[in-house]
Amino acid sequence: MCLNLEPCPDCPWVRRTFSIHTRPTNILNSRNERLQALYCSDECRKGAWSGYHQLECRMRRKYDLLKAPCDPDSSGSWTRIMIKALSTLTPAACLENSPRVAEILSLLPDVYDDEKLERIRKLAKTICAACCEELSAEQREQLAKVCERILLVFQRNSYTIDESHFVPSIDAFRSREVIGRAMYPTVALMNHSCDANTTRVYHLGTQVVRAIRPIKKGEQIFSSYGPEYGGMPKSRRQAILRKKFYFECDCDSCDDDWPLIGSTMGQVPEFLRQPIHIPLLKEVN
């Protein structure tokens, strides 16, 4: 863990902070004062600058938009998503509707009320005006519409990326920490089931989909959007899916209202209910 983080020299707001972070982030203290971006090393700082932070710095010098970068419904988070999109896809690719952009735009967007949608639209125009000064006014207007659509698609189709922390004292992975969100257009096409037959893992920035039970030829491949029948009652699962994804789930576990795992433990033989501790293999020198 790095205790002496390296700041971005170009960020306009500088404050003293004693927070400990291991990843590049916009550090906020308990009073939500804006602090400059801090990094674990000079290499990490240079990578962030070439990837997205140079646009972010330009935005900071012109507009007060980065208020709460970790809040998914805040203008700060929306700003970061749009800047990352412009850095990764490039304005030219967005304007030309390149294959990668077209793949993203083909996904269903999220649905917001008129007030929030107007905020997103205004923010997209502001960001394009600040980050793409070399473009004409007409091109910036067109780019803002693409950015608005990308943001709406991202809000509905992105996945949380987390990592597990190994606890040596119990030889097990215990805590999980969310480290970001990303969008994988192909994986986003998978339908949900509360009894999904796959799981998702991450390896070096790639999302890997793995079967957790045999899948027959021609059988649909399902993913879980969050709710699972084993630990959540049907009424709660349905409420979450309606609110966030706007559909009524009709998977087998919902149609037949399968019981929670805990409610069936009394039917399991005693010897199968005993906890089993299997230590992980350790490296031998």
| Same domain membership, residue 259 and residue 199 | yes
Range of the domain at 127: 67-158
Give the separation between CA 135 and CA 118, rounded to whole angstroms: 23
Burial of 129 (0-12, 13-18, 19+ CB in 10 A): middle
Q: For residue 37, is it within any domain?
A: yes
> Quick count: other Cβ atoms within 10 Å of Cβ 264?
11
| Same domain membership, residue 250 and residue 205 | yes
Q: What per-residue confidence (pLDDT) applies to 69?
A: 41
Contacts 24+ apart (CB under 8 A), 190-193: 190/221, 190/222, 190/223, 191/220, 191/222, 191/223, 192/222, 192/223, 192/224, 192/225, 192/241, 192/245, 192/249, 192/251, 193/222, 193/223, 193/224, 193/249, 193/251, 193/252, 193/253
| Same domain membership, residue 73 and residue 56 | no
Q: Final residue of a domain: which of 62, 89, 110?
A: 62
Total domain count, the chain: 3
| Same domain membership, residue 90 and residue 58 | no
Q: For residue 176, is it within any domain?
A: no
Q: Final residue of a domain: which of 138, 158, 178?
A: 158
| Same domain membership, residue 148 and residue 124 | yes
Q: What per-residue confidence (pLDDT) applies to 239?
A: 95
Residue-level pLDDT, tens digit, the chain, 285 residues: 556 788 888 876 544 433 333 344 443 333 444 457 788 888 888 888 887 788 778 777 766 555 434 344 555 577 778 888 888 888 889 998 899 899 999 998 988 888 888 888 988 888 888 888 889 999 999 999 999 999 899 888 888 887 766 666 655 556 667 777 888 888 999 999 999 999 988 877 788 999 999 999 999 999 999 899 988 999 999 999 998 888 999 999 999 999 887 655 555 555 555 555 555 444 444
Helix 54-62 with 114-131: angle, nearest 10 deg: 110
| Same domain membership, residue 17 and residue 77 | no
Q: Final residue of a domain: which of 62, 92, 115?
A: 62
Q: For residue 276, is it within any domain?
A: no
225 backbone dihedrals φ, ψ, rounded to 5°: -85, 5
Q: For residue 281, is it within any domain?
A: no
Give the separation between CA 6 and CA 24, rounded to whole angstroms: 9
| Same domain membership, residue 145 and residue 98 | yes
For residue 222, what is the domain's CATH number?
Answer: 2.170.270.10
Say if CB 210 and CB 201 are below 8 A apart: yes
| Same domain membership, residue 213 and residue 154 | no
In sequence order, the 6+-apart residues with CB closer than 8 A to the CB of 1 are: 20, 22
Q: For residue 44, is it within any domain?
A: yes
| Same domain membership, residue 253 and residue 221 | yes
Q: For residue 233, is it within any domain?
A: yes
Say if CB 218 and CB 191 are below 8 A apart: no
| Same domain membership, residue 88 and residue 145 | yes
| Same domain membership, residue 108 and residue 49 | no
Q: For residue 284, is it within any domain?
A: no
| Same domain membership, residue 202 and residue 139 | no
CA dihedral 97, 99, 223, 79 (to 10 degrees): -40
Q: For residue 74, is it within any domain?
A: yes
